[in-house]
Amino acid sequence: MSKRISLTQYLIEQQRGEAQIPAQLRLLIEVVARACKSIAISVNKGALGDVLGTAGSENVQGEVQKKLDIIANEVLIEANEWGGHLAGMASEEMDDMHAVPMHYPQGEYLLLFDPLDGSSNIDVNVSIGTIFSVLKHKGGDVTNASFLQPGTDQVCAGYCVYGPQTTLVLTVGRGVAMFTLDREQGSWVLTADQIKIPEDTKEFAINMSNMRHWDAPVKRYIDECLQGKEGVRGKDFNMRWIASMVADVHRILTRGGIFMYPWDKREPNKPGKLRLMYEANPMSFLVEQAGGASTNGLQRIMEVQPGQLHERVSVVLGSKNEVERVTAYHREAK
């Protein structure tokens, strides 16, 4: 990386590029990046900030909300209401979409987010993150249905990982850039650009405790990884599972790997655990922009036509050749 530039300079240079970033999208990115800085401050306080533990409420998923889930959600809503860049917002923490109050100008974008993913890790000081996805509003009144667009319609996606470094990872459809928070300056500094995920890997990420519940193609793939050098893969594999999608995906964007949260028999009526609109789609956009692949076992996740705001999906993403192998096993089984 030659000269280090700020997020603002990066966005201005992108605006001069052939495929301009419209002013409202540039504002959206800067507002979300600023909100992530505020969330990072709350997350980093931990026990000193009375932000740990549960909020005593449940979200639409029926999951107990952590105090920081609520704080992060409110920070993102307040940061994005006034700018005139949004028509509406949707969040894992809110049952329905949140319209921009009428006393603010309405914009052309829809913002979806998981304000704090991996929140089961908050109290044990393991990396967590904010995931966001941006769609264009196609006109008319803004309702939940306005958000039900396939991942291929995304114009921007990103996440912020609150870990040893605070890192913002972003795509507007022309590759993936990473920005590290310079806490002394309070600014995001470009620290990696045009990220590329290696097409092969020796590292898989899955919650192994669910093995007895998996479908045959997943069992086949993981068994082959576990057989190592002596097996059909002819190489040994390593395993990682942080139980924080943002942290697992960040590792994969940084050094390759395959991440899987497949359908399993525990809740057979649900296609998977992770949410399509504000977890799987934005992560799939980033992974594909970095030369990786992302399917639900059978098709590109970004081509799934959403039927409801909080629908779930099975996720297989990361190093292209490994994702293609798992997908081929599913298609053979079908």
Q: Is 262 in the site for ligand P6P (CB under 6 A)?
A: no
Q: Interface with ligand P6P includes 208 (CB under 6 A)?
A: no
Return phi, psi of residue 277, to 5°: -75, -35
Task: Count Cα atoms within 13 angstroms, Cβ side, for 200.
Answer: 6
Residue 190 engages ligand P6P in binding (rule: CB under 6 A): no
Binding to ligand P6P by residue 154, rule CB under 6 A?
A: no
Closest CB 2 distance from ligand P6P, rounded Å:
34
When the beta carbons of 23 and 243 are compared against ligand P6P, the nearer one is 243
Does residue 15 bind ligand P6P (CB under 6 A)? no
Pairing of strands 156-162, 128-136: antiparallel
Determine if 120 is a binding residue for ligand P6P (CB under 6 A).
yes
**Regarding beta strands 176-182 and 166-171, do their DSSP bridges make them parallel or antiparallel, or are they unpaired?**
antiparallel
Work out whether 151 is an interface residue with ligand P6P (CB under 6 A).
no
Which among 159-167, 243-251, 301-309, 325-333 is the span making contact with ligand P6P, rule CB under 6 A?
243-251
Cβ-based neighbours of 319, under 8 Å, separated by 6 or more: 197, 198, 199, 200, 201, 252, 256, 257, 258, 292, 293
Concatenate the DSSP letters of all residues of 43-72 into one string. Answer: HHHGGGGT--SEEEEE-TTSPEEEHHHHHH
Q: Which residue stretch of 133-141, 145-153, 192-200, 240-248 sits at the interface with ligand P6P (rule: CB under 6 A)?
A: 240-248
Selected binder of ligand P6P within 107, 118, 271, 318 (CB under 6 A): 118
Indicate whether 92 belongs to the interface with ligand P6P (CB under 6 A). Answer: no
Q: Which of 6, 207, 227, 254 binds ligand P6P (CB under 6 A)?
A: 207
Binding site for ligand P6P (CB under 6 A): 117-118, 120, 207, 243-245, 261, 273-274
